[in-house]
Structures are given as structure tokens and as C-alpha cells.
Amino acid sequence: MGDAVRSKRKMRKSVKWSLIALVILVIIAVVSLLFVNAYIDQSLPQTEGSIEVGSYTEEVIEGLAFEGLEDEVLITRDENGVPHIEAETDEDLFFAQGFATAQDRLFQMEMSRRQASGQLSEVVGDMALDQDKYFRTLGLRRAAEKSLGEYNDEELMALEAYAAGVNTFIAHAEEEGSMPVEFTLMGVSEMDEWTPIDSLTIGKYMAFDLGGHWERQAFNYYLLHTFPEEEAFELFPTYPERALSNIADEEYVEITSSLSKATIPHPFNGSNNWVVDGSKTESGEPLLADDPHLGLATPSIWYQVHLDSPNYNVSGVIFAGIPGVILGHNEQIAWGVTNVGPDVQQLYIERRHENNPYEFLYDDEWYEADIIDETIYVDGEDPVEYEVIETVNGPVVSEFAEDVDEHLNESVLSLRWTALEATKELSAVLQMNRATNWEEFEEALEDFHAPAQNFVFAGSDGTIAYKANGRVPIYDHPDDALLPMPGWDSEFALDEYIPYEELPKVVNPDKGFIATANNRVISDVYPYHISNIWAQPYRYTRIHEFLEERDDLTAEDMKDLQMDAKNLQAREFVPIFVDLLEGLELSELEVEALDILKDWNYYDHRELAAPLVFHRLISFIEDELFLEEIPEELMSMFKGSGQNVDHLIQSAYSGEEMNWIERSGGLDYVVSEAFTNAVNDIVEMQGANIEEWNWGDYHRVYFAHPLSSTAFLDRFFNSEGAVPVDGSNVTVMAASFGDDGIVNHGASWRFVTDMSDAQSAYHIVGPGQVGHYRSKWYDHQIEGWVEGIYHETRMDEYTGEKLRLKAE
């Protein structure tokens, strides 16, 4: 009996202590959660009240011409988080822009300058080592340092004031313990000061992202040395008329595969823009629309801002880390861009001395190349000493992932690229911001060299205009741009550029509108070579059709067109596919799928099944043609492959014998096999009930945060997940997707303005304005991006949370 009582007492005591321990653990968890929440909330940017910046500024202006804030600056963040910055001097304006941008996007700015400078390994470890080597080899930061010397005192002041504003915020945040939480998660204890070179390096990176076609030259080089000549030429972007005999077969070396390790920009770096004059608008004044297509991520690549000072009153977007407004409008003008995509990157085959890896041949003489010693710091590892070799043509890129002394090939590839020269795009940006008419705007463009862009323009005086602007090399023979050129012969040096006054230009055309969508912008009579690769024509054709048939256009029409999901590629090819497939023996499910294509209205709407069938069919046709013949790592260098596939299908259907179609079994076989594979693939994804198939379950937009690859962090940084969306890579509503259907590239910013009210414009900046995931402006525009819900930003009327920056 006594033992039983003692046992019960012991059990009650055990339960009691277990409960106490549980309560203690719960308290610890709650306290920890409260602490973490408080810590995270503490890093939210202060958007109301005032901040005395004088004491911080004194710490960060050493060596800068900027001497500190002269007067109080007011930053009003409107209901969409857009900062409207009012300053009494231009210097104070750019200081406050740097401060506000750092408040909202400091972690993004830090990652951007590290990526462009080849310094990511320092914080993420050796997984970024090859990428860092590549960007050290390209030398974007070295190019930025050269460019700094081109700027005048006024422009340098803007850069220095902006840097001082960024550094003032860093000093303030470090003192307040309010640095963005991503720095803690990445193990970054402190941040180096921001410099004007950092801003210019980010600008050079954007030129890289939009910059040229060297990878296609390397791919053509691979084709010509792997397949019979007629098969290789069939996949060239244009059939070469000039004999490609500059490089003898013995010069072919195994260097293309190493180039496939390079960081290659997304192949869909296109955009849409158009401008309509008053003869075709309801208001009688010009309308302008622009939606640049870049990577979709959290936060957005664009930072929206309104700048107001004695010499500036301009609203629009800029890359976080750079002063001014690169795209947008002021009270008299508006402008937007698309990528021209000219041949501004040229690979050269260099002949290297067999006994000395630093000597190269040029015009029958050996010369010593420039050697740049780089130290790459790697988190958790010893520093990596890395050599960059620069020839007379540019950096040697074929061995960026190799050690020189282990790779003594007699032939290597170097890269010549206009953006590696000293350029001064920021000068053009600041002039554009102050321009009041087309003449002033065009004069500003003369300083905008890289990347080459299609600018469209609208003025309050009724002028509409277009210019393909940038520094574009003159090729004596356009076919030379298809392949690497001999680097040992000065005859192939690209040392002249298309004269500025002879770049493609249109002012006030009779048809009443101008549009570009990365399409061919020159006629056959244009005297200079621009590019061999242009975008597929479907977006431009759709824009042209829409604008041509209307004479009472409004801003709402411009928004509708930006969200237009009509697929003209499908309009072109579905009848071909139906004709080929109807005569074949198909399964019951395949017959149903074919019927869906036949009844389709050619809109890539997310609730429909037909877009899913069509796009998977196109993808599997490409697989049928190339999957077994071309290594996967080289397909990423097959830039413009869509044009080639379209041409192969169209030509074969019209009766021409196309080598790549025939070697794959003929057009009937290719389309039949691809169709069967597409249907089976969809069944695996969405089941055998065709009524449940839809484009949106596959085609979903995801604005990935840099830290969202960790499942736990994904719940915080990407809580919305992937969202079904209309459009595709060939629709005006641009939404390019990978094999998994995830949309990660498209209209990074949408912009519409009616010059009848030049103080106003309509914007979508997906996913949002602010980089802090607890901010109400973090991902508040995802729904707007998907549904086409724009917000209006005015330069004359705005209210919101007010922050005053005060000098002591």
C-alpha cells in the first residue's frame, strides 16, 4: 500500500516538473519570438518624424566634395511607398535619394555591387567563385573606374552626394541596430561604405544584362566545327553570304565548353514601348507606354521615386544604387526604352605564344598582355589569387575558370565590348531629367553609350520621336559578327562607331505612332550593320495591329495593351500543327487536345487549356530537334533559338528540305512525337481529365527573394508563393517561363502616361517598392502585376508619411 502511494506521489511530482519545464520552454519560445519580432521590426525604415543626419554625415564625407546637408529635406512616402523628395538644392536632393533608397533597398544594393564587382564569394562562399572570377575577368568595376574620370564636377557632385546619403543611413542604422535582417542571416556584420564607383559599377552590370551576343558567336563557332557546314549554317541567325574563312580549322580548340560556365544574361531580355501622337488619342495629346522586360525578383530591380529641387522635377524609376531617374517623365516630356540588342560584344581568337602565356600575336609581332592580379575573398575559405589577362582586344574570357599555368593553349578567346570602355550614361540621365523638348533630349542621348536602347519620346508640345541610341561598332562585313574574329590582325579591329547623327531615328511619323519590341528596327537600305538577331515578331506585330486600328486611344487602352495576352505565334502555327496532326492516328486524349487547339481564340489566358498544350508542344519540338545533338550546357548559348525553330517549321511545311528537320525524322514525325510527349507531360502534371487542364496551374509568376531558396525563409520572404498568370514569352503581356512553368522574367515595370496631364503617370512595380518583408509596401503590387492594376503617381499632389532629414 505504501509503495503504491509513494509511486503516485512520485508520478505527480514528475508530471508537475514536466509541466513546469514545458511552461518554461513555452515562455522561452515566446520571449525569443518577441525578441526576434522586435529585432526585425526595429529594422523597418523610419518613414515619419525627423532624423538629425548632421552627426552621421560628418563620419562619411571624408574625401568627398559633398560637405553635408545644407537645408532640411522632406521625404513624403505616398500610399504606394513611393518617396517624393523635396530639397532646396540639387546636392541635398541626391543626398536624400541615396538615404531613402538605402532605407528601402540596402541589402539589394549590397548584393548588386558585390555581384557586379565579383565579390559575392566573400559572403556566400565558394558557390559563387566561378561567377566572381567571370566578373573580375570582364572588369565591370575597372570600367566604372575609367568612366568616373569622364564626368564633370556637377555630375560627380550628384554621385558623391548620393553616396554620402547612403553612408549616412548605414551609420544611422548601425548605431540604431536597425540594419536589414538579411545582413544578419547572411552573417555580414558590417557594410563597407558606398562610393561613386559602386553606383557606376551597377550601371555597367545593367549594360551586361542587356549587352550583346558573344554567346551566340561562341555557339555558332561550336556549330561550324561540330556539324556539316550546311547544317551549321541552318542554325545561324542569318545565312552568311560572306565566306567564313577567316579562321582556319586548325585554330579550333576546345574552349567553347568552358565558356558555357560563364554567367549568361536571360535570353529574353526584351521590352515593349510605344508612343502615339495626338491625332490618334482621345485627349489630342501624345500617349507613351513602356514596360522593360528583365528578371522578376524580390525586391524589384526598379526603384520608383519622384525628385524635386531647383533644377529637377522628375518622376519614374532607377536601379537601386544610382542617382536620378532613368525612365519616366517630367513636366514637359516622357520617355521609355527597349533593348536594341546590337552587336556590341565581339569575341576574338587570340594566338598565344607557345612558351609564354602572356605574349600574344598582333600584326606579325609578339606583345606582352596586361596582367591584373585579383584577390577573391571566400567565406570560410582561404583567399583565391586570380590572374586576369587583357589583350589588345579585351579580357581573355575562355579561361576565366582555369588557372593560366594549367591552360597553355596556343589559342584562346578574348572579348571586346563597348561597355568596358569609359562611358558616362549618368551624364545622359541627368540631362534627360532636365530636358524640356526633343532637341534637348536628343542632345542628352549623345552621352548614353551602353547599353544601346530604343528610346521613344513624347513632348507636351505634341512631338513624338524615336532613336536607336548607343555606341555601335561599324562592321565592314556583317557576317563577321556571326563568329569570333582573328585577334592577331588589325584589319578586324572594331575601332569606329556608327556616327551619332546616323543612328536610326524617327520624328513625328505620318502613321501617328512609333513602337518597338526588340524587333528589327532598320530596313535593308540602312548603311550599317546593327545585329543579326532580332526578337520574334509577334509582340511588335500585335502592338502595331492594336495601335493602327484605333484613333481614340486613352491611357486605359495603353494599360490594356500592356496586359494583352494574344499569342500571334499560335495564330501562325496552330493551323500548321492541326493540318499535320489531323491525318495521323491519335489517342482519344490527343484528339481532345487537338480539338482544344482548333477551338482556341489564341489568347494565353490562365484559365484555358490550349495555351498549355501549345507551349508544351513548342518546347517538345525543340527537344526533338536538338536534345540528342547539342549538349545541354551549350543550349543556353543558343540565343534566339525560337527564331530558328520557327523558320525550320515554316520552311519545311512549305516544302523546303531542312536538314535539322530531316535528320530528326521529317516534319510529320517531329510534330507528332512532340505532340504525344506534350500530352503525356500534361497528364503527368495535371491528370488525364482534360477539363481540368489550365495554363495557370503551370504558368505562375514567382518573385524570388535571394534568400528564399531556404524553405524556412521562403515562408517569410515569398509568402505569396507562385501565382497563376496570363501571357507568355511571345505575348505583349510578357511573362517568360522556364521548363517548370515558373515565370521569372517579364515586365519588371509598367508605365503609361498621357501628356494632356504631364504631372501624372501610371505604374506597376512588381512585387513592391520596399525590400523589408514586414513593410506594407513589400509585395503589395503582386496582384496588380497579375491583374493589371496600376497606381497613379502625381508630381503635384501627394500625401503620405513624412520624414524630415535635418542638418544639425
DSSP classification of residue 284: S
Phi/psi at 79 (nearest 5 deg)?
A: -65, -15
C-alpha cell belonging to residue 693: 487542364
525 and 577 in a single domain? The answer is: no
Cα–Cα distance, 707 to 425 (Å, whole number): 31
In a domain, 520, yes or no: yes
**How large is the average pLDDT for residues 603-615?**
98
- The rounded distance, in Å, linking the Cα atoms of 185 and 707 is 9
Average pLDDT, the chain: 90
Residue 727 CA to residue 284 CA, distance in Å, equals 31
Q: Which of 648, 668, 693 is the last residue of a domain?
A: 693
Mean pLDDT of 273-297: 97
pLDDT average, residue stretch 341-365: 94
For 112-144, the pLDDT digits (tens) are 999 999 999 999 999 999 999 999 999 999 999
pLDDT, tens digit, 9 for 90 and up, residues 202-251: 999 999 888 667 888 989 999 998 999 999 999 998 767 665 544 444 44
pLDDT score recorded for residue 253:
38
- 33: buried, middle or exposed (CB in 10 Å: 19+, 13-18, 0-12)? exposed
Which helix (DSSP H) or strand (DSSP E) does residue 538 occupy? helix 538-548
pLDDT at 79 over 80: yes
363 within 8 A of 490, measured Cβ to Cβ: yes
Q: How far apart are CA 466 and CA 468, in angstroms?
A: 7
Over 50: is that where the pLDDT of 36 sits? no
Instruction: Using pLDDT thresholds of 50, 70 and 90, give the confidence band for residue 713.
Output: confident
* CB-CB contact of 257 with 219 (8 Å): no
| Model confidence band, residue 312 (pLDDT cutoffs 50, 70, 90) | very high
Q: Is residue 739 part of a domain?
A: no
Q: Is the pTM of this model over 0.85?
A: yes
Burial of 32 (0-12, 13-18, 19+ CB in 10 A): exposed
Angle, vertex CA 162, rays to CA 157 and CA 168, nearest 5: 125
Write the burial class of residue 588 (CB in 10 Å: 0-12 exposed, 13-18 middle, 19+ buried). Answer: exposed
* Contacting residues for 422 by C-beta, under 8 A, at least 6 apart: 143, 146, 147, 149, 150
Q: Are 634 and 521 within one domain?
A: no
Q: Please check whether residues 536 and 592 belong to one and the same domain.
A: no
Do 514 and 281 contact (CB within 8 A), yes or no?
A: no
Q: Please tell me the distance from the alpha carbon of residue 719 to that of residue 782, in angstroms, as a whole number.
A: 11
Q: Are residues 582 and 522 in the same domain?
A: no
HEC letters along 589-637: HHHHHHHHHHCCCCECCCCCCHHHHHHHHHHHHHHHHHCCCCCHHHHCC
β 327-330/791-794 pair status? unpaired
Write the pLDDT tens digit of every residue in 658-668: 999 999 999 99
Q: Looking at this protein, which amino acid is placed at residue 321? A: G
Q: Which residue has the cell 535582417?
A: 181
Write the single-letter amino acid at 520: R
Instruction: Give the residue, 35 or 262, on which the prediction is more confident.
Output: 262
pLDDT digits (tens, 9 = 90+) for 556-565: 999 999 999 9
pLDDT of residue 38 exceeding 70: no
The rounded distance, in Å, linking the Cα atoms of 294 and 327 is 14
Last residue of a domain, one of 669, 693, 717: 693
- The answer to whether residues 570 and 728 touch, using CB atoms and an 8 Å cutoff, is no
Nearest to 782 by CA among 738, 752, 743: 743
CATH number of the domain enclosing 290: 3.60.20.10
Instruction: Identify the band that residue 188 occupies on the pLDDT scale cut at 50, 70 and 90.
Output: confident
Number of structural domains in the chain: 3
Report the C-alpha gap between 769 and 755 in whole angstroms: 25
Query: Which comes out higher in pLDDT, residue 669 or 406?
Result: 669
Dihedral, 397, 401, 405, 407 alpha carbons, nearest 10: -70
Chain position carrying cell 535635418: 806
Q: Taking a C-beta distance cutoff of 8 angstroms, is the pair 199, 159 a contact?
A: yes
Asked if residue 519 belongs to a domain, the reply is: yes
Query: Residue 398: inside a domain, yes or no?
Result: no
Confidence of residue 400 (pLDDT cuts 50, 70, 90): low
Residue 411 near residue 399, CB atoms below 8 Å: no
Distance CA 13, CA 707 (A): 46
- For residue 547, with 0-12 CB atoms within 10 Å meaning exposed, 13-18 middle and 19 or more buried, which class applies? buried
761-74-203 Cα angle (round to 5):
60
**Lowest-confidence segment of 109-123, 198-212, 415-429, 580-594 by average pLDDT:** 198-212
Residue 193 is classified by DSSP as P
463 within a domain of the structure (yes/no): yes
pLDDT band for 714, please (50, 70, 90 cuts).
confident
- Residue 360: enclosing H or E segment and its boundaries? strand 359-362
Q: Which of 616, 611, 615, 612 is nearest to 601 (CA)?
A: 611
Does the structure show a pLDDT above 90 at 14? no
Name the grid cell of 437.
523638348
Confidence (pLDDT) at 317: 98
pLDDT for the residue 250? 40
Contact (Cβ atoms closer than 8 angstroms) between residue 267 and residue 424: no
DSSP type of residue 271: E
pLDDT cut 70: percent of the chain above it: 89
Contact 519, 540 (CB under 8 A): yes
What per-residue confidence (pLDDT) applies to 524? 85
Based on the domain organization, do 503 and 625 belong to the same domain? no
* 461 and 319 in a common domain: yes
Whether 350 maps to a domain, the answer reads no
Question: 3-state class of 13 per DSSP?
Answer: helix
Q: Domain range for residue 30?
A: 1-42
* Same domain flag for 337 and 455: yes
Where helices occur in 302-436 by DSSP H, the ranges are 425-434
Q: In the predicted model, what is the mean pLDDT of residues 719-747? A: 95
- Clarify whether residues 483 and 631 are in a common domain: no
Give mean pLDDT, residues 562-572. 98
Q: What percent of the chain has pLDDT over 90?
A: 76
**Which is more confident, 447 or 712?**
447
The Cα 547–Cα 274 span in angstroms is: 9
Is the domain of 550 the same as that of 572? no
Q: List beta partners, residue 458.
A: 334, 464
The answer to whether the bond into 451 is cis (omega within 30° of 0) is: yes
Own/partner contacts of 65-70, CB < 8 Å, gap of 24 or more, are 65/153, 65/156, 65/157, 65/160, 66/91, 66/95, 66/157, 66/160, 66/161, 66/163, 66/164, 68/164, 68/807, 69/95, 69/805, 69/806, 69/807, 70/807
Strand-pairing partners, residue 486, are: 349
549-570 burial, b for 16+ CB within 10 Å, e for fewer?
ebeebebebbbebbbbbbbbbb
> Hey, what's the cell of 784?
496588380
What separation, in Å, do the N-terminal and C-terminal C-alpha atoms of the chain show?
Answer: 82
Which residue, of 693, 725, 754, is where some domain finishes? Answer: 693
Task: Give the C-alpha separation, 322 to 369, whole Å.
Answer: 33
Residue 726 has pLDDT above 80, yes or no: yes
**Is 626 found in the same domain as 491?**
no
The per-residue pLDDT for 4 is 60
> Is residue 540 one of the residues assigned to a domain?
yes
Answer for the pair 107, 771: CB distance below 8 angstroms, yes or no.
Answer: yes
Instruction: Note the pLDDT tens digit of each residue in 448-483.
Output: 999 999 999 999 999 999 999 999 999 999 899 999
pLDDT at 406: 42
Rounded Cα gap, residues 264 and 397, in angstroms: 13
Q: How do strand 384-390 and strand 370-376 relate by DSSP bridges? A: antiparallel
Are 292 and 748 within 8 A, CB to CB? yes
Q: For the CA atoms of 746, 748, 754, 757, what is the dihedral angle to 10 degrees?
A: 170
Q: Does 326 lie in the same domain as 463? A: yes
With contact defined as beta carbons under 8 Å apart, do 447 and 425 qualify? yes
Q: Identify which of 689, 702, 767 has the alpha carbon closest to the alpha carbon of residue 741.
A: 702
Q: Are residues 468 and 505 in the same domain?
A: yes
Is residue 503 domain-resident? yes
Helix (H) / strand (E) element for 723: namely: strand 723-724
Q: What pLDDT does residue 245 have?
A: 47
